[in-house]
Structure 1
């Protein structure tokens, strides 16, 4: 036991040093493949857990070098198909010990409860192990666990309840566990199908591009529209430059607000919206800049009452406001002061040469 404790102390410093490198490496590799990851975390077994495993009955460990999971890294994905994508990365980038690696998804009987995950035992790949920053870790074996977020939730709850083996679980609890496992597996499958459907839909919208006369506007199509339509993207860039503001990344939440605006204007398709923006682009630009500069007097201040950057698609909102101020659609819930300002700007801008379009 004393020798094991000494060996642990000699080994653990290297493992603790390696752990953050391994985390960073996996983040970089999965990001390069475009795999969405919930989180990646590493851990080094405690001395107590390590010594307990070394002295487990029925095992003939000769020392810590026989253990392959003292250093471990856990990768939690959002979807179960991403577990397979991560597995492909691991197999390609590391030297995997196939004999000691295990896919628990393939072992689980249909009438048994338990969590599904992949467990790899691996070392650094030959080329990476030869690099100066990794050479000292070239012979270190470690464990990589990969599971989806729902699989992880199952494992954490099961662990918290204290059940390590199904043989210790009362029959009624086993039945409940089985039902829950089925529900989680179904949920994982449905989330994957939803992701696939939305991906195929976005691809179809992307292919439609500027010729999308028949593409109906909804949250998804409008989200793509504000990123791809040349009229709205040009207007966003022009306004952001005039206001000396950054252009925000696109947000789906903002597309929900813009969808309310398009419905209020009676606009139902991608092409209709693009045409309306194009016909009003000059006066709309003047209207936006005049309104925002008056509302936020000093644009150099970091806090502009909530508008510190231009969200993609802002022109759609101001097209809506322009139509309200012009009397083309009902004022709805706009406060009197804002509506009076908007109407004043509308009258002023419409009186300018070339500014008579109402949008």
Structure 2
């Protein structure tokens, strides 16, 4: 049996190996609270294995042992600082073949083309090798690619251009590509600095201190709003009680959904000229007087189901958002289009606001 036929039989095992590694790596990063953009894996395609042997004829004595990427995992993270953290975790949790692993970003000279990632050749370490779920993978190797989102973008674009080395590039394009590679690398560094600045701002908001003579804790932005409501949960509760009395059912929203509502609150507040936390607090306190009646009008605009019941699940942040919307003037309301809303729901809310304003005038 030749090597290609042998690999056909082994490929399902490598496929299962890649899926097990994905689950394990996700668990390791989650436990260490490292956010990632994407973790994906695959076993090498049979045609790709065959072509590699044929292209490098004579190089491999036993390609099943010498080709290191029969199982491949790719980890894409947001920040360069996460690369160092994950590098340590890979070394702690796997047996790393240092001879065949490489930080490709360190092997490029200053005048060479490229912006590359870390590659590790790994095996299961002794801690896991005795566990039943890993026994069948003990002798297998895998390649782990570790890169940032920008490194991945560069790799995808340069792959499309089909330039594998510095010598492949026409002189006419070299300068442009070198400059682009530098911009990608600089952008990666700048994102790390932005992340650090965001951390400093969140601390300033929490401690109610100024940064660069600006009262960041009173400014209207997503960070200040999130902190404001975390410290004033009673406001969210008050508005949820008003929504509940109007007929809404409670929705236990996830962090992304809540952040989306907070972002809407920031945007619409600025549209209304509410440019500080202090002004927002004043608005929310005064709005409790009419919010219950208004929210009931909004809820009743919801279409009944086949049993004649209305169902609309939300939370306190959404109630506040609806109340802020009620203050838009006719022209603002007409042109207001939050991205995450369906046209149907938005139209019903707009009709509700118009009805409520008409009823208020009659009174």
| Alignment TM-score > 0.5, same fold | yes
- Counterparts of 1:86-235 in structure 2, within 5 Å, are 86-208=86-208, 215-235=218-238
The alpha-carbon deviation at position 124 of structure 1 amounts to 1.5
Q: Would you say the 8 A contact 2:101–2:119 is kept in 1? A: yes
TM-score by length of 1: 0.79
- Counterparts of 1:200-349 in structure 2, within 5 Å, are 200-208=200-208, 215-239=218-242, 241-242=244-245, 243-249=248-254, 250-263=257-270, 267-278=274-285, 281=288, 283-284=289-290, 286-296=292-302, 298=304, 308-310=313-315, 312=317, 314-315=319-320, 317-318=322-323, 321=326, 324=327, 333-334=332-333, 338-339=353-354, 341-342=356-357, 344=359
The alpha-carbon deviation at position 239 of structure 1 amounts to 4.2
Q: Which residue of structure 2 aligns with residue 65 of structure 1?
A: 65
Unaligned runs of at least 5 residues, structure 2: 210-214, 334-349
Q: Which residue of structure 1 aligns with residue 4 of structure 2?
A: 5
The alpha-carbon deviation at position 81 of structure 1 amounts to 2.2
Q: Which residue of structure 1 aligns with residue 28 of structure 2?
A: 29
Deviations, residues 107-139 of structure 1 (Å, cap 9, x unaligned): 121221113200001112222222211111122
**Cα RMSD after superposing both structures:** 3.5
Q: Which residue of structure 1 aligns with residue 339 of structure 2?
A: none
Q: Would you say the 8 A contact 1:23–1:41 is kept in 2? A: yes
Change (3 A) 1:38 1:260: closer
Deviations, residues 194-233 of structure 1 (Å, cap 9, x unaligned): 2222233223324449xx9962223432244344422322
Q: Which residue of structure 2 aligns with residue 357 of structure 1?
A: none
Change (3 A) 1:97 1:88: same
TM-score by length of 2: 0.78
The alpha-carbon deviation at position 297 of structure 1 amounts to 6.2
Q: Would you say the 8 A contact 2:222–2:263 is kept in 1? A: yes
Matches of 2:3 and 2:217 in 1, distance apart? 72
Q: Would you say the 8 A contact 2:42–2:71 is kept in 1? A: yes
Q: How many residues align?
A: 337
Deviations, residues 134-172 of structure 1 (Å, cap 9, x unaligned): 111122111000111221121122222222221222222
Q: Would you say the 8 A contact 1:15–1:44 is kept in 2? A: yes
SS in 2 for 1:114: coil
Q: Would you say the 8 A contact 2:205–2:216 is kept in 1? A: no
Question: Does 125-134 or 330-339 show the bigger shift?
Answer: 330-339
Change (3 A) 1:347 1:79: farther
Matches of 1:140 and 1:169 in 2, distance apart? 37
